[in-house]
Structure formats: structure tokens, C-alpha cells
Structure 1
């Protein structure tokens, strides 16, 4: 299948093409000056293999996970390495020619018995292609199942599975939150069964965990992320829900069993982090959210910022064939919204800025769960896909933009300067596809001025991915 649009120029659809080469380069060509205080590695996970001998995956979210690392030694040089996660999912996909793939929107041919077994006995994918984090001394790659894959953050070697959270349910998020006070990683899972339950849990290490709160649910919602404040865990139930029995017995792939029910509205629940009690709930008009931005307490009210779509149609618009063959067919844009949740149950909604924004990042260590001023994200700017980077000042809605012809920028990762006292004192790192060159480069922006200070060119194109983290040396 061609991934290049008609005409002489390479299309951004190159970002959805396979990249199966594993490489290591000690020093990339660098233009500009990389700050010498930057010491560690930006590690990103991308769906890098979509095509197999007998078939391709159906959805961008189902590509096989590859780790990419840009290393910073503190002398201004930048190294690069890439390596596939050695997962059961990829080994089986290679052996079967792709017919075994069981993912978000790609389903293998299975008997009814195998389908029921896969849902209720947790025979679920370990293709951890969404996000990265750390629990205790372990580094983990994650997808929306509670069996992360451990890896070495320098060599990118796969070290095995982390099964410490598997007992909480079959569906989880790849967006856990760090609790620096207790040194724990907080997440939630949906346990599917005759009586389904949401379970919020905290993990101090790969083997130490505790349940924070539970909530019975008849039709579990698809929730990609959640929010955290100093006192509360905040779940946002999209009105995209599933009947667990139909999920087990139906003939559809995982996400295609979910049904959009706008009459349910967006339901929001705040759980007390100390007692586990449901403190309060709210309901507002229906919309769909992948990513929360931040949340904090304002007196008795809760403030939750997020990236909102009008509905869940964005999921179908990210099917692989559509992304590869129609260069102009991305679809709806996410709007940065602020929800102010009142003690009386009221919900006040307003736009944070007049710009579309996805893949949001903040100064997480300093401001997660607290009042903040700046969010960085990807934006289409009315292009066919996420192309440019934006920095939004949520205090007044103003924003700054980085954009360049032929460049398609990925998620911006903020790294604070050591000793910084200003919220935006640091750099923003993004992996950018250069369609003119047919390769990718690491972009380093000064976070305050939002202007380029350096770039380092990778030896090949890096497929579009979702999330990554900077791990300090």
C-alpha cells in the first residue's frame, strides 16, 4: 500500500509507514546549541510496524511498539537508538503474518470460546505502544491493559512483564499519575464481569500496591486518562460505554463493541484519596476526551482542564487505511476546555484558548494537581493532522506557535531547567517528521520564548507516536 500522496512531495502520511530498522548512533548531526544542563534521555514509544506478511493492522493504535531514545550526555551532543519491545504480541504477529493481532481495533479470527476466554481471563495484549512511566525502580511501557512491559531506559532492552496491577482488571489506562508524597503511581482499571467495577489503585513498587477506591458500574465507559488533585482522584466517564457480555460474545474488535450514548452526558466523579469515598459526582453535556491536561482545587470547587471532541467519531477517523490513503482526512479537532465543578453540582464550561490542542503536557513535577499557567500541545492549525506546536497561557488564553513548512511535530515534552523557579523555565522536546528530507529530527525549543535552540537529525523517519518521557541521568 502506498503511503505517499500524489505529487512529487512526500506527504505527512510517511508518518504512518513502517520503520522496522533498529539502530544506534553515537552522535547525531546537531544544529544550534543543546543546553549542557540537559542530561538524560527522551524516550518515546511509537507504533512502528503496521504491516505483516498476511495482513496489516486496522487501526493506528494497534501498530507494534518500538522505543526511540534521544540521549543527552551534558556536553551538547545527542545520541539516538531505536529498538522494538520484545512482546508476546509482536512475536505472535511475526509468526502468524499478522493474523494473531488482538488489539484496540484489530481482531484475530477466534472461536466464541476463545473470545470469552480473552476478555474474562485476561489473555490480553502486551503491545505497550502508548506511554512510558516509572514505578519504583522499574521503567515501564504501557497500553490500555494492566500488564506493562519493563525496559532498560538506556539500552532499550525489554526486561519482561510487570504483572503487579493485573489483579485489578482487564482494562486500564496508559496515563497513570505520580504521587510524590507517597512515592506511588496511581491508576485505575475496569474489572469486567457479571458485576463490573472501577478500581482505583496505587503502586509503590512492582509488587507493592493498594486499592484506593472502588465503584460498581453496569456499562463501563472507555476512559483513556483521568485527573488528580491534591485531595481527589477524578474519573471522567465518556458516554462511550460497553456491555461486558457483548464485549465477550460479540464478533467485533475491542473498541467497536462500545456504543456512543450522548444521553448519558459526561459523568465526572471525585474520589477522596485518603478515604476512598466518592466525594461527589457531576453530569454535563456529552463530549469525548482522550486526554486531561491538569486539575486542581479552587476552594470547594474542582477545576478540570482537558482536550474535548464533540463526540467519539475521532476513533474511527484514526483507522490506518484512512490515514494512509487520504492525506486530507484527519477529522475533528480537540478543543482545550476548562470545567469548573461546583459544590452544588453545577458545571461551568469555557474554552481555555481559541486554538485546537491535543497531546497536552505541562510542567508536571511542579504543577500537576495544582494551579498552573502553561500547557504545551500539538495542534493542526487546520492542517490534515497534528502539525505544529502551541504553548497556551491558560490565565488569559494567549498562545505561541512553532510551525515550519513540511514539518509535522509530535507531542511536546517539557523538561525543567535544574534550579528553575519559573514554571516555563526549561526546554520543550519534540520529534518532528521532515517531509522534505523524508527523515525525522529532534526539536529543542526554549520553553519561555518558544523559539528553536537546536535540532538533531535522526537517520530515518520515525513513525508518528503518542507519548514519551524524559528520564534524567
Structure 2
């Protein structure tokens, strides 16, 4: 029986070096309109380093450059932060916001490529994935930054927050399309509950406080745990500089949601929010895996089920329901519909706590209730499916899903390009190494990049 930490073996075994490969082999036909870079983050400690928690592993970004039907390059690079060289997060002067793993997400905004971790400042990268350094929005970012900012598809604004276990617990920010922070303020009524993600609608900001909160007795390096005394709530705040004074908090059933699929106002003006959610047992199973505790089970996310909340702002009533019993995480959608009512959403499926089921990419039709699954295959783990609209798209699902698969039997990885309408495979790009099972990423089309890559 192995005693290795589960997040350092199998699909999650770290890459031991950085490399660059060019002119990758392609099976099928890559759509020529896919011209840009898929960049995905992962927790990848350096050789010889064993972090106490999966989330503590240093960030490594993996990039795949597509252009004119070719796969031009793959490269992987550690994000060179002070933490990569062992600098502590806590110092005699308080937290060092530059001592980041920078291993959760990577986004592009206003021409800057940013690697993110929610306890720290963003780290800027070059188009070729080399590290520039910590970025604080010209001194206007005065806290950590969530790893899940939201870009409003209508305005180009970047909405994000900083959370902390000590007051102020929640600070909200908006940066305009040029990258300038236009307003920020503390959000009243927030607690030390873990806030990993949030949502925006066309008119509101939606915060989620679950039953997981700050716990100084937790020594894994991530000081949070399930606490039945922590009320689960949803906060709804009008967008705009004066929104803080009008925030309302709505109690919900105990649980914890790490990732929001989307939120919107329905035709009756109610707020609808969806995302995979775990109960107490589900959280503990995942936590045990994340820290490598005894009895950890085989997988995280084994009791993570898609949940929907409908919040009536007039009556104050919240209706909530679990809408599927499939174990899923990492929800995505066509982000042209972010903040608006959407028909389709996607996720990664996992085996359940009994080992039943398999890894795959799931498509939900929220109108018909249909669920479609692309099975990844034996010993194959797909990454979060990033949606890319097709040129001249006329339907919400007229586009592509990009996912990087870790294949243990072949000790290899491929980039799969799936048709977002039926999940059929369009093309496969063979990568020069098995890519570590990771977290979140982004497609950055050339129109949003400076094109200076090699």
C-alpha cells in the first residue's frame, strides 16, 4: 500500500522540469479559427518538495499554441514567485501577498496574463509564460485577489474580490476594460467563511458563504474546516459603486460550493445561481484527499452534485434543489452568456464515492434536462473544458470545448478539441509529456493577445 500523498501520484504526479516542444502532431483537423493559446494552471511542487496540502503546491502553467490549423508549440513553466523558492506566506509583519503558489487559475485582462491564487496578489506572465512579477493594478489592489474573477461580456469589466479570515473579510473590486480599477469597497456583513468563487448577473453581484470557515487549529497550511455553527448564506448586492449599502444575505441549507457555474435574473426578476456543491461528508472526503489523510478515499469531488438556488428578492424566499446526482466539478459555459440566462453548461465528471462512474466531459441542456457525457476512457482524466465560440456562431453551443487529458496507461497527454454541440471529437493534439492533472485555465485568442510569442 502506497503512503505517498494522493496529489503527488497518478494523474497528479508533478512534472519535474520545464520544456518547449514545437510542431506538435495533430490527428483530425484543427479548426483554423482556433488561433490563440490555451493556458492551464496546476499545482506542481518542485522535485523533493512535499506540500502539506494539494493547494500548497507551486503553480506551473502549461500552454498550447494553435494557429491556422497547426499546433505550433507546447511549453510549461513554473510561476516564479517567492514561494517557489521557499519564502513563507506569514512573516513577522503579517502575510506576504507576493509569496503565492499562483497555481489555481490563469486569465488574460487588458493585455496582461495573470496567474492567480486567492490568498495572494496576481502574478503577471509573458505570452511565452515567463514570470514578470507580482501585479497590484498600479497600487489599487490592497488585498489578495480571488482566483475566479469574472469578465462582463457586455462591458469588458473585470469583477473580482479579495477575502480574508480577518476583517475586512470581503473587499469587492471592478477594473474597466483597460485594466484600471474604477471602484472598490468593503462588503458589510461578510464573515470568515471560505469564499472561493462568486457570480455576477447583469444587475447584481452574488457572493456565496458556505459551511466551511476559518479554523486556526487546522495545520495543513490551509486554515479552513467544516463548521456546523457557520451559517450558509448567499449575498446579493446591486452592481455599482453604491452597492454595498444594499447587500442582502439569504440563509440556505448547509453545504459548500467551490465553483459557480453561472447566475442570472430570470423573467420574474429572481436570482438563479447554480454550481456543484458538497455536503459535510463530501467536503470531508475531498479534504482528506487534499491533505493525504488516512481514509481519504480514491478521489476528491465524489459527492459534488450540481445545485440550483432561486432567490426571490421580493419575498426573501430561497428555493434550492439538487438537479443531478452525477459527481461533477469545474463547471464552464459559453462566457458570452455569463451573467445572463444560459441553456447549456459543461463540467468534468468523476467516479462517485463507491468508485462507480468514470471521468468525462458532461454537457447539460437546462431547457430539456438532457445530460450528455463524453467518456474520457480508462485511466484518462480530462481537465476543465474551456468553451471557445465558433466563427460566426449562431447558437449558444456553436463552438468547441478544449480539454487536456492525462493518460496514465500511455504516460501521455493530449489536447482534445470537442464539438460543443454533441461532444464528438474533432481533433487531437499529442503533447510531448503527460500534463499534471490541474485546475483552471483560459483560451486567449490572438485578438486579445499581443502575439509576441515565439
Q: CA deviation at 1:289?
A: 0.7
Q: Return the alpha-carbon distance in structure 2 between the equivalents of residues 35 and 377 of structure 1.
A: 23
Contact 2:202 2:340 in 1 (8 A): yes
Question: Please, what is the CA RMSD of the aligned residues?
Answer: 2.9
Matched, 1:208 2:184: no
Q: CA deviation at 1:271?
A: 1.0
Residues 441 and 218 of structure 1: is their aligned pair in 2 closer, same or farther, counting only changes over 3 Å? closer
In the TM superposition, residue 215 of structure 1 has moved relative to its aligned partner by 2.4
CA contact (8 A) 1:430 1:442 kept: yes
Counterparts in 2 of 1:241-256, with a 5 A limit? 241-242=213-214, 247=216, 252-256=219-223
Displacement, 1:266? 1.8
The residue number in structure 2 matching 1:285 is 253
Matched, 1:397 2:369: yes
Quick one: distance in 2 between partners of 1:251 and 1:60? 14
Structure 1: any 5+ residue segments left out of the alignment? 6-10, 94-99, 103-113
Asked if residue 224 in structure 1 is aligned to residue 193 in structure 2, the reply is: no
Give the unaligned 5+ runs of structure 2. 447-454
In the alignment, what sits opposite 2:275?
306
Q: Secondary structure at the match of 2:321?
A: strand
Which residue of the partner structure matches residue 44 of structure 1? 40
TM-score (norm 1): 0.84
TM-score normalised by L of structure 2 = 0.87
Deviation of residue 254 (structure 1)? 4.6
Matching of residue 81 in structure 1 with residue 49 in structure 2: no
| Alignment partner of 2:236 out of 262, 270, 287 | 270
Q: Is the 8 A contact 2:62 2:74 kept in 1?
A: yes
- Residue aligning to 1:64: 58
Alpha-carbon distance in structure 1 between the residues aligned to 2:363 and 2:323: 12
The structure-2 alpha-carbon separation of the partners of 1:386 and 1:44, relative to structure 1 and needing over 3 Å to count, comes to farther
CA displacement, residues 353-397 of structure 1 (integer Å, 9 cap, x when unaligned): 342220011001x10000001111111143489721111112232
More displaced stretch, 292-301 vs 13-22:
13-22
Contact 1:420–1:426 (8 Å) recurs in 2: yes
Which of the two has greater helix per residue? 1
SS at 1:456 equivalent? strand
Deviates more, 1:222-231 or 1:212-221: 212-221
Instruction: Quote the residue 2:262 is aligned against.
Output: 294
Counterparts of 1:70-469 in structure 2, within 5 Å, are 70-90=64-84, 92-93=85-86, 100=87, 102=89, 117-119=93-95, 122-123=96-97, 125-153=99-127, 155-164=128-137, 170-190=143-163, 193=166, 195-204=167-176, 208-217=180-189, 219-242=191-214, 247=216, 252-256=219-223, 258-274=224-240, 275-276=242-243, 277-298=245-266, 299-311=268-280, 312-319=283-290, 321=292, 328-330=298-300, 332-343=302-313, 344-364=315-335, 366-382=336-352, 383=355, 387-403=359-375, 404-469=377-442
Deviation track 1:77-99 (CA, whole Å, cap 9, x = no partner) reads 45211111121111x23xxxxxx
Distance 1:174 1:262, change over 3 A: same
Distance in structure 2 (CA, Å) of the matches to 1:165 and 1:251: 35
CA distance, structure 1, for counterparts of residue 415 and residue 225 of structure 2: 39
Q: Deviations over 1:27-74 (max 9, x none)?
A: 11221111111111101111122542xx51011111111111111111
